[in-house]
Amino acid sequence: MTLDAIEPDDMSAPDLTGRVALVSGASRGIGHAIAAALLARGAAVTITARKPDELAAAAAELASTVGVSADRVFAVPGNAGDAAARVAAVQGTVERFGSLDVLVNNTGINPVYGPLMQADLDVVRKILDVNVVAALGFVQQAHRAWMGEHGGVVVNVASVAGLRSTRGIAAYGMSKAAMIRLTEELAWELGPSIRVNAVAPAVVKTTFSTALYAHGEEQVAKAYPMGRLGTPADVAALVAFLASDAACWITGETVRVDGGLLATGHLQ
């Protein structure tokens, strides 16, 4: 694609018609919004998450809300930390849709809050396994099944917690810092046929992050130059752009979507 071929409309709503995407952790929140954004731009989408009933409901809601045929949304339940579940999701996608062009590693957990000196090491291992090792596992499987031969795009959902000290969610932040380094390593290793980028949200209003703003959303939002917390759609729009040809010369980047929070020099 040449620069002349990219019109302004392409930048605001990139066309993903004919592409096939797999989004992990997509039954709700940011992952659900990413799946909706990719569908709305023409992609077929496989969604994964742990709970079959919630995932099936999410798939039906996506098709109805976006206004697409139900056969463009494929739900494959499974735990991202389970190698067999990753294989099932990737192979199922290729069998169902005929390709796998976009992989979005969105699954993340944060079951612990507090100082690292009091952290249960088994819990820390679980955070790293689900948030980092599983993401690499998905990329490996996607590479074997399709992208290694045909190319593609990977977008990892990191966090501003991986860029600055967080104190209270330090183990989670450590895992997201590893995700950012993983993104850079994969971009170097897999280019030029596979682009790998990450997005780093600040606090986004989801069930996952409620504890970070439930004590007073307006007070938390005052720290943001944009004057509000993020929404899943804010992140989804950026992911859709990075997945598209409009971002064809961007790889190895972690793009902040944080309402200007890190520009203030603080993360608290």
pLDDT digits (tens, 9 = 90+) for 137-162: 999 999 999 999 999 999 999 999 99
Give the class (CATH, top level) of 3-260.
Answer: alpha beta
Give residue limits of the domains in the chain. Answer: 3-260
pLDDT digits (tens, 9 = 90+) for 166-207: 878 999 999 999 999 999 999 999 999 999 999 999 999 987
- pLDDT on residue 79: 97
Q: Would you please indicate which residues are annotated as catalytic (active-site) residues?
A: 172
Q: Is the peptide bond between 192 and the residue preceding it cis, with omega within 30 degrees of 0?
A: yes
What is the average pLDDT across 76-87? 98
In DSSP notation, 105-148 reads: E--------S-GGG--HHHHHHHHIIIIIHHHHHHHHHIIIIIH
pLDDT at position 30 over 50: yes
